[in-house]
Structure 1
Amino acid sequence: MNNHNKSNLIIISVIALLSIACSKESESQLYIGSTAIDTTTVLTGIDTPWELLYGPDGYLWFTERSGKVSRLNLNTHERNVILTIPDVLEFGEAGLLGMALHPEFDTHPWVYLVYNYSSGEFIKERLVRYVWNGSTLTDGNILINNIPANSYHNGSRLAFGPDGKLYMSTGDAGFTSNSQNPNSLAGKILRINPDGNIPADNPVAGSYIWASGLRNTQGLAFTPEGLLYGSDHGPNNDDELNLLEAGRNYGWPAVAGFCDLPDELTFCQQNNVREPLYAWTPTLAVAGIDYYNHPVIPHWQHTILMTSLKASKLVSLKLSTDGLSVVSTEQWFDGYWGRLRDVCVSPDGKIYLAVSNRDGRGTPRPGDDRIIEIKAVSPTSDNLANTENSRLKVIPNPLSGAGLVRWNGLKASGEYFIINTAGAIIASGKAAAPAFSISTALFKPGYYILKINSENQTVSTPFLVM
């Protein structure tokens, strides 16, 4: 696939199988490659979760744009609010945004947060550091103040690198000239000492700026080798996945996507521009990212997992061995939960997603907003036993027009229902053993759920209509 084609086709390859005997907590079982996974809602009723972090205490830490910081016990699903910041300005896309924990948290229990606030008639952004005392966050200390901000294009992710420095993304605050202005901290990647001072080895002496020319980077992720990736919102074209490097320029606003227009080529040659690894047109509204390399889901090893808001899907980007290019992409859970804001990978290979349908641009569903857990399960577990004899299948999948449904567990007739991603039943009929047909001729392309009720048993599976 030619990454320089701005209308790149992203390959959809979701092979799905819902459980025939799910627990109350498990919502569905799917396959990532050949690995069976469970998807489970671990928390509901929150409002615009923005950052997800797996803490060294085994809890999931997260922020909400209204100003709340919480910890979630992943065993009991009990949520505790540990801080509410009173001067957070939640307006448009502004509010409490990124969070990072100091990498040596046991000896330096410092929590870093980015939020927007009102400064007269202007919106600003600041980086603050709090201290975790075992029950709450205390002793807030402003590290960087008066960063340009707006009701949109504020960034902002935080991530510690293997070098022990804190990296922060900022948006252009709606003023495109900020991104190329060396005197503005907007539209940049900043590199910061843990105490808030400027590192002596930054590209420009006396400046936090580490990289420039960015529009609205809402995802940052490091590999253990120290490569830093960022997801950057494009305008109406060219969302980007970037490999972020010291002192490099990423082109905005003179360049969107690759250096492939005459004026762009000139600017790139003159300004040390680093082209993106991948670009999307139409845009997906790319958001949080994380690096996955755990053996429990081999299909996702050495990939960047990227959430998207407008496109409402998870994208996996397989990296080359050296991490310097993207060799393939796939899309997952297209429309399954709605807008996805962030993704977090735990040390044991579980994945957590923040659903963001209450952010003013989505359509909330019952229970929204929520946090989803994705975990691998053993194919020999009870709930996957004898799947070859009892598996519910839609044939073909994906399908267009007429399809066949088989379920060996259907011994007598029952009822089937087809449900769209909004939860509405759009078709129903008689389910007859050993197989029956369905028609999707009038369906819009996308994901649907087929559900069968028979003899007090309920089974379901997602399928894709092309």
Structure 2
Amino acid sequence: MKNPKSSNQFKHRFFGNFAVKALLFTITLLFTIVLLNHSTTGVSIVPQSLRPDIKVRNIINTLSVSPSVRIVKDPRNNTLYYLKRNGEIYQVNLASSTRTLVYNSSNHNISETQGMAIGPNGTIYLVGNADLVNNQTQAIIVKGVINSSTRQRIWSILAKSAAYPKSKTAYDHRFNGVVVSLDGKFIYVNSGSRTDHGEVQSVNGLYPNTREVGLTACILRLPSNSNNLFLANNRATLKTAGYIFAEGTRNTFDMAFAPNGDLFGTENGPDRDMSEELNWLRLGGNYGFSLAYWWDRQSTTISQL
């Protein structure tokens, strides 16, 4: 028979150890919650202006489940809008520090948006992407034109791309940045790379030996008055149609025109120790991605690998 005293001692040790472990677990959990809460809320750090003639003030907090991806200004009246990834568009009232939801995916029919711009006549342009079967994606570009009679915004498709393969990595940049020419006649749309630095991304053999494709790593120029354009996944076809403005851009996530009409774009560099770029984008230019070069010391020439 078991010794009752020995059994009781075992129970005391067991429950004593359990209580200590439970206490340590509770303390660890509470400490983790405090750290997570601190990292989420943090200390409010206010940006400081370095010029006495520029003042900084907090207008509004756009934090929500869907991240904010763009902030744009209507050139007609300087009204600010911001875009959520889920397609929601908010108008900002600077005087009252409030916002108003003005459009969402039920209006423009894009549920995943990454780009937004407003033309000189008030037309809103949105750039989005849709996931398709076989790990493919499709770009969708829409415009919201103000009806001169009703003053209501009418949404329509400006362009759609053919399906093209994703890489199933963090480097699927897809279509995102968009800017309108100063005269409002064209929109310039960035299509980011599907690779980090031009490496093969076959999606476990689904797309053998595939690096970039016809629709990736380029900037397209499309007439703003277009309707239902089809963007083929073929670089030669896109060039023949006059849609390719520049090539060799890894991911020009944002672009802007200078007052004289020069177009500039910010370039997100690869996931290694390389500099970001600010490019002066010109028609027909090739900005190097994803070409590799080596210096031939014998002939002092640059050779393309």
Q: TM-score, normalised by structure 1?
A: 0.43
| Greater length-normalized contact order (CA 8 Å, ≥ 6 residues apart) | 1
- Verify: 1:172 aligned to 2:189, yes or no: no
CA RMSD of aligned residues (A): 3.3
Within 5 Å, which residues of 2 pair with 1:154-165? 154-163=174-183, 164-165=185-186
Count of residues in correspondence between the two structures: 224
2:88 paired with 1:51: no
Unaligned residue ranges in structure 2 (runs of 5+)? 1-44, 200-209, 230-237
8 Å CA contact 1:126–1:146 kept in 2: the answer is: no
Which stretches of structure 1, 4 residues or longer, exceed 6 Å deviation after superposition?
177-180
Q: Percent identity?
A: 23
Residue 262 in structure 1 maps to residue 295 in structure 2: yes
- d(CA) in 2 for partners of 1:160 and 1:179? 30
Q: How far does the alpha carbon of each residue in 1:254-279 deviate from its partner, in whole angstroms, 9 at most, with x for none? A: 14xxx7x42893349xxxxxxxxxxx
Matched to 1:216, the amino acid is N
Q: Counterparts in 2 of 1:20-99, with a 5 A limit?
A: 28=46, 30-46=48-64, 47-55=66-74, 56-85=76-105, 88=110, 95-99=112-116
In the alignment, which of 184, 190, 200 is matched to residue 220 of structure 2? 190
Counterpart residue identity of residue 155, structure 2: D
Q: Aligned equivalents of 2:82 and 2:59: distance in 1?
A: 15
Q: What residue number does 2:133 align with?
A: 120
Q: How does 1:28-427 map to 2 (within 5 A)?
A: 28=46, 30-46=48-64, 47-55=66-74, 56-85=76-105, 88=110, 95-105=112-122, 110-121=123-134, 122-132=136-146, 137-146=153-162, 148=164, 150=166, 152-163=172-183, 164-174=185-195, 176=198, 184-196=214-226, 204-235=239-270, 236=272, 237-255=274-292, 261-262=294-295, 265-267=302-304
C-alpha displacement of 1:172:
1.5
Contact 2:142 2:155 in 1 (8 A): no
Amino acid at match of 1:160: V
Q: Residues 132 and 119 from structure 1, CA distance in 2 versus in 1: closer, same or farther, beyond 3 angstroms?
A: farther
Corresponding residue for 2:26?
A: none
**Larger helix proportion, structure 1 or 2?**
2
Letter in 2 for 1:193: P
Cα distance, 1:155 vs structure 2: 4.5
| Cα distance change of structure 1 residues 146 and 80 upon mapping to structure 2, 3 Å threshold | farther
Q: TM-score, normalised by structure 2?
A: 0.63
Distance 1:157 1:166, change over 3 A: same
Name whichever structure is richer in strand by fraction: 1
Deviation (angstroms), 1:127:
1.0
Name whichever of 142-151 and 64-73 sits farther off.
142-151
- Which protein shows a greater Rg? 2
* Cα distance in structure 2, aligned partners of 1:43 and 1:114: 24
1:399-450, Cα deviation, whole Å (9 max, x unpaired): xxxxxxxxxxxxxxxxxxxxxxxxxxxxxxxxxxxxxxxxxxxxxxxxxxxx
